[in-house]
Amino acid sequence: MINTILWDFDGTLLNTNDVILESWQHTYEHYYGHRMPVEHITKCFGEPLLVTMAREFPDVPPKDSAEVYRDFQKDKAYVWAKTIPGVFELVEYLKGKGYKQCIVTSRTMESTLRYLSLFDKGHLFDGLVTCDDTDKHKPEPEPILLGLEKMKSKKEEALMVGDGVFDIKCANNAGVKSVLVGWRITDSDNSVIPDAVHDFETETPEDLKKLIETL
């Protein structure tokens, strides 16, 4: 029986798609003087930022390019970030039903807490795992395994909810069932991790609620 929900953050709990895309475009323009196709950016959604930075800007120290990205995003978050209809309502419903809920994200602790504070949603969650908490990140299993440890939950009691292949492969590697959400802008057939296999797919938060209650 599922009693623990592990949530990805960006694109799953909160619609940060626009601010993330524009932060990437700002960084490409800063270093290369041009923008990139949206599909080039979204295929790496969920990958740890420094990993992507090292690949995209190989001649720049990743921490430097990440600072360009993060400074821009921090300034624009209040304008472009927005809630996803029905998602936080589902989180609140599940909390009332006694489900344990933990965010498992590749974001930093500071930025995750800043977004939660912006929308006053931090109180809904029982735990938080960020890229600051583990040496290995999605798609490696460590973030989910730490989330399970924090929740004092077993693998068979948990469900990972995410919008991309990094979330799904992390769940695969951790031995946890996963669900791919239908409100994503990423491609479920992403070639970055072709062997990521989700157990379930739901189109809406209401569909996800029904699924959770059957597991």
User: pLDDT above 90 covers what percent of the chain?
Assistant: 87
Q: Are residues 93 and 64 in the same domain?
A: no
Provide the H-helix boundaries in the chain. Answer: 17-32, 38-42, 49-56, 62-80, 87-96, 109-119, 142-151, 165-174, 205-214
Q: How many CA atoms lie within 13 A of 3 on its CB side?
A: 8
Look over the chain and give the mean of its residue pLDDT values, rounded to a whole number.
93
**Position 44 confidence tier, pLDDT thresholds 50, 70, 90:** confident
**Position 69 confidence tier, pLDDT thresholds 50, 70, 90:** very high
> Using one digit for the tens of pLDDT, what is the confidence trace for 81-117?
999 999 999 999 999 999 999 999 999 999 999 999 9
Per-residue CA distances from 116 to 90, 126, 188 (Å): 16, 13, 27
> Using one digit for the tens of pLDDT, what is the confidence trace for 156-201?
999 999 998 999 999 999 999 999 999 987 655 555 677 899 999 9
Report the first-to-last Cα separation within the chain, whole angstroms.
6
Question: Using CA atoms, how far apart are residues 204 and 86, in angstroms rounded to an integer?
Answer: 8
CATH of the domain at 73: 1.10.150.240
Question: Using CA atoms, how far apart are residues 161 and 145, in angstroms rounded to an integer?
Answer: 14
Range of the domain at 106: 4-15+82-214
Q: Are residues 22 and 108 in the same domain?
A: no
Choose, from 8, 10, 163, 167, the residue flagged as catalytic.
8
**Total domains in the fold of the chain:** 2
8 catalytic per annotation: yes
